Amino acid sequence: MFARLGRTVVHHPWRVIAVWVVVAVGLVVFAPRLGDITETDQTAFLPDTYESAQAQAIADDAFPQTTGLTALVVVKRQDGAVLTAADQDRVAKIAEGLTAAKVDRIASVATSAQSVSDNKQVQLINVAMTGSAQDPTALEAVKPLREALAKQLEGSDLKAGVTGDAAIGYDTNEKFLRAEQVVGIATIGLIIVLMLLMFRSPIAALLPVVTVALVSVVAQSVIGLAGKTFDFEIGQEVPILLTVVLYGIGTDYILFLLFRYRERLRRGDESKDAVVTAVHRVGEAIASAAGAVIVAFSALALSSFASFKTMGPSLAIAVACMLVAALTLIPAVVSLVGPRVFWPSKSHRKTPKGSVFAWVGGLVAARPLAVAVGSVVLLGAMAAGAVNVKQSYESVGSPEPGTSAATWFDEMRTGFPPGVTAPTMIYVRSTDGSPVEVPALATYTDALAKVDGVGQVQPLGADDAGEPVKWALSEDGKVAQVNLLLDDNPYSAAAMGAVEHQVRDAAHASAPPGTEAKVGGLTSAFVDVQTVTTRDLRLIFPVAGVLILLILMALLRAAVAPLYLMLAVALGYAATLGASTWAFQTIGGEPGLMFILPIFVYLFVVAIGTDYNILMIARLREEAQLGLAPRPAADMAVEHAGPSVASAGIILAGTFCALMLSGVTFLTQIGFAVAVGIMFAAFVMAMLLVPSLTALVGARAWWPGHGDAPKPGAGEGIRAEELEPVH
């Protein structure tokens, strides 16, 4: 099949390229943009069966005017002293000035005596806004708000800044936009430099940049079209990941083809015959590798968390587009350019002697047991760190370090509990149709104030006597809202633990007779997100593992080799998670790994890292089919496939390292973890562990089939009956 495909592409290269260009232009013109289906709030992806989502539904119905964005203006004296009565009057005038500024999307601006901290060092101005965190134009209102605030502060002894969910969302979006640009430039630049070093050819270096750019246009448009057609949204991290995934795996597949193409040229094939042979020999491995990645990504559709449910298929679409390009567009371009793809280098004309991969292959063949044991010990030592792994949600809702929202979040904490930026909101709803009784609410809020982890019950107004009121009633009086300010950062593990175990239990147990209570807010949402993702990991990993195992069995027509390949992949996953734990928790002192990191390690290390195992095991089988014994076959497989695996691993790891330049906390963790995992997959598993195990297992690796049975001419190109010359 792949020989026939390669022959068709080589016969009609201009037609293949023209089809790609026409499809890309058509999709750009008619398909929706990726930004049209992007969602910025992770908690919005929760199923409605969870308590936080149910609480939000009550809020949307009973308090529609208070469920929009909010911003907090934090005011302090420039000298750090306590706020005087005159200062507080000036803050009130600042609030009036912000109202008079008539900033678009700002519904109300308010401050009061209850907005002053107990230590008198901080006063807050609450800014209610229309719209949600998913509305970019609503977030944009933060910029003119900050400009209006700066004017109001002129000539005063006060300083102030804006934080709260609106400011955090605005600053995070700005940081993501900058990150997307930085990562894109760094990824492309890195690929060009590494390809130049590997092939010493500007044409080879530019090949992935140009072709993957075209594929990226197609993939993004197809994802946008799928999103509109099937009514789903994606997280804001997906566009950045698409860049890395497409350039990473795209360059991998191009490398697999170029290395085999160069190998055939060195054996004396004509250029077009060499392209067809490369597609024939590597096409099956590329298709199987891409199939494993697509299956692994698509398995996320089983997730209950909509962010994963849509991210996986979105990335799977991108990989499918790249697979088609690798088998059509890339061979078409190479067949037109010919050996000039390596210009001005002449390395394609001669086989190098005494390469490092020949030495590694000889080591694996001579001492397979020692190599296998050493590989397992190394990966096992790294995997030991995974025992202490902890999940962290702090960088999801917390302001990104270095932003204005982060600076004023810290300033606010000098006077208020950290939870003031994201109160835990309890909604008490009547179950018998009668209004909620006010005396019962007073008793209820007093009980909640004593719960461990609660800093205070937030005043939501004042009565006629000026005394603070700690609840708000809906218009029909059948729903009451109570806001709790937690002692800890609302995104921290401590706050989540308090909400999950103390606050929810107390809120349910102490609810007034005839009512039910639902605990909402971001902290409660993250408790549910943690539950969902834990459940998803337990479901998705086994399903994806079985599907990848079936793909390996179909490729190798064997049962034994796929089993130890999957065991190697599982060990590599644990080693990657452990190394990340050592780096960020043990050495970096961070509270934990991002809660979505295990999923990303699974996506990119298990799925994409399997590519290298597939390429190596396919070459092992090919060498065995030449009639070589297991150990010599391992030697030759490492020598011949090693350069492409190593080069692909370095480039893919390098592209993920580019994420570490983003300045975004969780992208930095993802970049490090995946880069380390890819290096494990390429240099330890594919280069050492898999060939050494195959050498030890011998012919039993291909049981119950006969994948190692010698085939005439299997390593010498395509037999005459399979292929007519195309030159």
User: Does 2-41+171-395+527-702 match 423-520 in CATH topology?
Assistant: no
Q: Give the per-residue pLDDT at 125.
A: 92
Instruction: Give residue 721's pLDDT band: very low, low, confident or very high (50, 70, 90).
Output: very low
What is the mean pLDDT of the segment spanning 528-552?
Answer: 83
Domain boundaries, the chain: 2-41+171-395+527-702, 62-170, 423-520
Tokens of 660: 């570490």
Handedness of CA 370, 371, 373, 378 (dihedral sign): positive
Segment of 297-311, 576-590, 694-708 carrying the highest mean pLDDT = 576-590
Q: Give the per-residue pLDDT at 233.
A: 66
62-170 homologous superfamily: Multidrug efflux transporter AcrB pore domain (3.30.70.1430)
Tens-digit pLDDT profile for residues 66-125: 656 788 999 999 998 999 999 999 999 999 999 999 888 888 888 888 889 889 999 999
Rounded to a whole number, what is the distance in angstroms from the first to the last CA of the chain? 20
Q: Give the per-residue pLDDT at 177.
A: 77
Instruction: Give residue 656's pLDDT band: very low, low, confident or very high (50, 70, 90).
Output: confident
Beta strands 593-594 and 391-392, pairing class:
parallel
For helices 368-383 and 560-581, the axis angle rounded to 10 degrees is: 40
Residue 60 burial class via C-beta count within 10 angstroms: exposed 0-12, middle 13-18, buried 19 and up = exposed
Radius of gyration of the chain (CA): 30
Give the contacts of 176 (CB within 8 A, at least 6 positions apart).
236, 237, 240, 664
Whether 131 contacts 107, CB under 8 Å:
no
Tokens of 424: 């835990």
Tens-digit pLDDT profile for residues 132-190: 665 667 788 899 999 999 999 988 899 999 998 888 888 877 877 777 778 778 878 88
Before 704, cis peptide (omega within 30)?
yes
Q: Give the per-residue pLDDT at 665.
A: 75
Between the alpha carbon of residue 183 and those of residues 570, 608, 656, 660, 685, the distances in Å are 29, 19, 9, 8, 28
Task: Give percent of the chain with pLDDT exceeding 70.
Answer: 91
Q: Which residue, among 500, 495, 498, 512, has the nearest Cα to 447 in the 3D structure?
A: 512
* 355/640 Cα distance (integer angstroms): 10
Handedness of CA 715, 720, 724, 727 (dihedral sign): positive
Tens-digit pLDDT profile for residues 226-237: 877 777 666 666
Q: Give the per-residue pLDDT at 347.
A: 67
Does domain 2-41+171-395+527-702 fall into CATH 1.20.1640.10?
A: yes
* 321 pLDDT higher than 50: yes
Instruction: Give residue 577's pLDDT band: very low, low, confident or very high (50, 70, 90).
Output: very high
Tens-digit pLDDT profile for residues 199-226: 888 998 889 888 988 998 898 888 888 8
Tokens of 184: 């894109």
Between the alpha carbon of residue 341 and those of residues 20, 271, 336, 502, 630, the distances in Å are 20, 11, 9, 65, 35
**Cα 583 vs. chain centroid, distance in angstroms?**
19
Q: Which CATH fold would you assign to the domain 423-520?
A: Alpha-Beta Plaits (3.30.70)
Q: Give the per-residue pLDDT at 727.
A: 43
Q: Give the per-residue pLDDT at 242.
A: 81
Q: Give the per-residue pLDDT at 38.
A: 57
Tens-digit pLDDT profile for residues 263-314: 888 888 888 999 998 888 888 878 888 888 888 888 888 877 766 777 778 8
Segment of 260-269, 414-423, 443-452 carrying the highest mean pLDDT = 443-452
Which one is predicted more confidently, 245 or 697? 697
Residue 340 is classified by DSSP as G
Handedness of CA 617, 619, 622, 624 (dihedral sign): negative
> Does pTM top 0.85 for this prediction?
no
What is the mean pLDDT of the segment spanning 601-616?
Answer: 78
* 576 pLDDT higher than 80: yes
Whether 431 contacts 516, CB under 8 Å:
yes
* 660/311 Cα distance (integer angstroms): 21
- Give the SS3 label for residue 645: helix
Q: Which residue's entry shows tokens 């599907």? A: 547
* 375 pLDDT higher than 90: yes
* 718 pLDDT higher than 70: no
Q: What share of the chain is helix, strand, coil (3-state, %, to 5)?
A: 65, 10, 25
